[in-house]
Structure 1
Amino acid sequence: MTHTYKITGMTCEGCRSGVEAKLNAVPDVAHAEVDLNNGEAQITMHKHIATQTLQQALPSKYKILETGNHAQPKSNVFETSTAETSQSKIQQLKPLFLIFAFLIAAAILLHKDTWDWQAMMLDFMGLFYIVFSFFKLLDLKGFPDSFSMYDPLAKAIPAYGWVYPFIELALGLCFLMRFQIAVALILTLVILGITTIGVTRTLLDKKAITCACLGTALKLPMTEATFIENALMIIMALVMLFI
């Protein structure tokens, strides 16, 4: 019998091969094949193996969930699993929400006396790039692989994934120092526009992959929050350019 499973937490080829090796080592597994792009595993087994048993064979950062007609036969069990997955996703996104809250608060406090909304937006965008580039630079070696899973340009030109954190850092400094703002805004539209295309495709294809917006240090799932994050920056750039 062959079952299909969704697996989250994989960010690179090393993750894929590690997960595949762990699953193939489970007793009664005849063959396990893991697809990194789709976040899926096809497991052929001699007899049925509980999903919990497969989960125990994997490191805690990976989550495995059976899909299709073979998944949980009782509706109440399935609903419980869905609720737990949603709760887990919200918990995983907590760092992203906190970072945005701090960035917004910082931009407002810097201009609380003048309430200059243009200056607030520039400082928010500058701090956004600085903070997000910091997390990417924490694991510069692992970031390009994770980023190329959904960014079209990084997938076509691997070197782009290596320089991307430095591009973000440079843009952040431009906004904070008010240097070549028009150029920085145009570059924001270009690079985030390309990334948003990849994010949109990933969400529409319902691929279970890790978002690289905060590098690989924080294992954030790819969700609508990533799209909103990019869309917000694109809208702000358009506003600054044309209003």
Structure 2
Amino acid sequence: MTHVYTVTGMTCSGCKASVEKAIQSIDSVTNVSVNLEQSEAVVNMTNHISIKKLQDALSDKFQIFETNTSKNLFDTIDIPENNSSQLRQLFPLFLIFGYITTIAILLNIRAWETSNFMLDFMGLFYFVFSFFKFLDLKGFSESFKMYDPLAKVVPKYGVVYPFIELGLGLLFITRVQIPLALIITIIILGITTFGVTKTLLDKKSIQCACLGTTLKLPMTKATFIENTIMIIMAVWMLIKIYN
């Protein structure tokens, strides 16, 4: 019998090899084929193997779920549990956004100006998010190219990307070359958002690289929303500058 599973947490060919080796070691498994880009594992087995047994064979870095390719309107779906689990996974992202927003507000609360708030928010955003990417630059680049269209074509772009973010953060915080920084923001986040949207529409279960690989975040609508907020801010600021 053959079963198809979704495996999250894989960011590189080494992860793929680890997953294949771990599952292959289970009794009753005759063959394993892992697709890194699709985050899928096709497992041939002589007897049925429970998800728990498969998960126990994998390291904590990876999560495995059964892929139901014939789901319809009458399937039983445990929505509250899935939503709760997803919210727990995304908690670090919400917490970081909360910190960035609070600091940006405090920096401008005495002499409030929306433009300065946005520039501080965007600068802090890039500083914090680039920091997490630098913790595992190679892992980030491998994960990033799984959904960013430009990183797929030019793999080195994934290595350079955190440096671009850091540079943009400096420009926004120091108020240097703001129009250029806004245009670059719209371009790079626009490209990434296109890839994120395609991934969500294709319903692929892959790891989001927005906070690097240290924090294992799933690719969700929250990723789309965070990029969209930054793009809207950048467009709004450009319009204000040139009007």
TM-score band w.r.t. shorter chain: over 0.9
Which one of the candidate residues 97, 100, 108 is aligned to 1:100?
A: 97
1:42 aligns with 2:42: yes
Pairwise CA distance, 1:235: 0.1
Q: Which amino acid aligns with 2:7?
A: I
Deviation at 1:83, TM superposition (A): 4.0
- Confirm whether residue 216 of structure 1 aligns to residue 213 of structure 2: yes
Q: Counterpart in 2 of 1:30? A: 30
Give the structure 1 partner of residue 108 of structure 2: 111
In structure 1, the residue matched to 2:222 is 225
Contact 1:210 1:220 in 2 (8 A): yes
Q: Are residues 1:198 and 2:201 paired?
A: no
Q: Which residue of 1 aligns with 2:60?
A: 60
CA drift of 1:87 comes to 2.1
Amino acid at match of 1:65: F
Displacement of 1:111 in angstroms is: 0.8
Correspondence for 2:238 among 230, 236, 241:
241
The match for 1:164 is 161
> Aligned pair in 2 of structure 1 residues 47, 70: CA closer, same or farther (>3 Å)?
farther
| 1-structure distance, mates of 2:62, 2:84 | 16
Structure 1 distance, partners of 2:214, 2:115, is 32
- Deviation at 1:85? 3.5
Q: Does 1:154 align with 2:151?
A: yes
For residue 111 of structure 2, give the secondary structure of its aligned residue in structure 1: coil
% identity of equivalent residues:
57
Q: Runs of 4 or more off by more than 6 Å in structure 1?
A: none
CA contact (8 A) 1:3 1:70 kept: no
Go from structure 1 to structure 2 and tell me whether the alpha carbon gap of 1:45 and 1:83 turns closer, same or farther (over 3 Å shift): farther
3-state SS, counterpart of residue 142 of structure 1: helix
Cα distance in 2 for partners of 1:174, 1:51 equals: 48
User: Partners of 1:70 and 1:233 in 2: how far apart?
Assistant: 37
1:135 counterpart residue number: 132
SS of residue in 2 equivalent to 1:240: helix
- Which amino acid is the alignment partner of residue 223 of structure 2? T
Taking a change above 3 Å as real, the CA distance of residues 69 and 161 of structure 1, as seen in their structure-2 partners, is closer
Q: Which amino acid aligns with 1:24?
A: Q
Counting matched residue pairs gives 237
- Measure, in 1, the Cα distance between the counterparts of 2:86 and 2:162: 25
RMSD after superposition: 1.5
- Unmatched segments (≥5 aa) in structure 2: none
Output the CA distance in 2 between the equivalents of 1:213 and 1:66: 26
- Counterpart position of 1:185: 182
| 1:125 aligned residue | 122
Matched residues in 1 for 2:119 and 2:26: separation? 53
CA–CA separation in structure 1 for the residues paired with 2:151 and 2:169: 20
**What's the TM-score, normalizing by structure 1?**
0.93
Q: Give SS of 1:207's match.
A: coil
Written as runs of structure 1 = structure 2, the 5 A alignment for 1:9-28 is 9-28=9-28
Residue 40 of structure 1: how far off its partner (Å):
1.1
